Amino acid sequence: MKLLAIALCLLSLAAAASEKKGGSSSRKQGESLFSGRRPLVGRIRGHGSDLPPEVVVCAHCHTQVTPDSGAPAAPIITRAFLTEQRERRGGPPSAYDLTSFCKLLRTGVDPAYVIIDRVMPTYDVSDAACASLWQYLSQ
């Protein structure tokens, strides 16, 4: 009986370690997508042509400052920015979750059903890639 308890304990530790490793791997993939080391496919809404991969890098707008204003071109994406409730354009308070984050990337519509600025591309992003981006940005 003691041997069975030890075996079950070891199995649960191994499963937890495997889950932690997978989460780390997913965050690394998300960071690679955000930074542009892994390319994304995106286009401006209303246009049929894909933009060059180097143009649709998330980090270009969501981390860097613009020369003219000294401010980022788009909001800095943090866990708080994504997950804390906030009003948008007088709409009801809303926050992102995985589903609404992926919807935003694919359609340009945020959780409050506000269409974001057209300068942000919409992306052809798989569920797995979107989940990796979400995990990287929201953790």
Which residues make Cβ contacts (< 8 Å) with residue 60, sequence separation at least 6?
Answer: 36, 73
- Tens of pLDDT, residue by residue over 68-114, are 777 778 888 999 999 999 887 777 899 999 999 999 999 999 999 88
Cα separations (Å) of 62 from 46, 56, 90?
Answer: 22, 11, 23
Cα separations (Å) of 91 from 51, 85, 94, 111?
Answer: 31, 11, 8, 10
pLDDT at site 71? 79
pLDDT at site 1? 45
Q: How confident is the model at residue 54 (pLDDT cuts 50, 70, 90)?
A: very high
- Tens of pLDDT, residue by residue over 27-36, are 999 999 999 9
pTM: 0.78
Sign of CA dihedral 83, 37, 29, 55: positive
CA nearest to 36, candidates 23, 54, 48: 54
